[in-house]
Amino acid sequence: MNNPMILVVEDDAPVRNLIVTTLKTHEYRYLTAKNGAEAILMAASHNPDVLFLDLGLPDMDGIDVIRQVRTWSNLPIIVISARSDDGDKIEALDAGADDYLTKPFSVEELGTGPSTPTGGFGSTIPPAARIWTARS
Ligand code: CA
């Protein structure tokens, strides 16, 4: 069985590298996208198991990426954003995000899972993909 495929959408290279390093440590497969258009294209063409999404992208708002992906896919979307306003969180979750992680975050948080505002997030993704809920 193949390891889950994670699509990492982040234009900030250091943050992207941090996430990728964490995924490698957990032996996940991953793809990266640096903007919203690329993210939507890759989500459609590669059918990833989980989407890690930055909201502040150079070409479009991450919220719009969520809305577009949600028109055809229910894959788990984890927002990773520097925006900590409750309004932004609510907007992202309303658009269809499954969880919201505020930057700066630690590698530890990535590996062990943030709190889950929607509750029960761990049950929405395949057991093998639960890096958010289980320390490995
Ligand atoms: Ca960004």
Residue closest to 92 by CA, chosen among 70, 120, 108: 70
Task: Give the start-to-end residue ranges of the domains of the chain.
Answer: 5-135
| pTM (predicted TM-score) | 0.77
Give the environment of ion ligand 1: residues with CB less than 5 A. 11-12, 54, 56
Q: Which SS3 state, helix, strand or coil, does residue 99 take?
A: strand
Angle at which helix 36-46 crosses helix 62-70, to 10 degrees, equals 30
Compute, in angstroms, the gap from residue 15 CA to the centroid of ligand 1: 9
Ligand 1 centroid to Cα of residue 8, in Å, is 12
| Range 5-135 has CATH code 3.40.50.2300 | yes
pLDDT digits (tens, 9 = 90+) for 4-31: 899 999 999 988 998 899 888 888 899 9
Q: What is the pLDDT of residues 56-65, one digit of tens each?
A: 999 999 999 9
What is the distance in A from the centroid of ligand 1 to the CA of 121? 24
For ligand 1, the distance from its centroid to the CA atom of residue 1, given in whole angstroms, is: 33
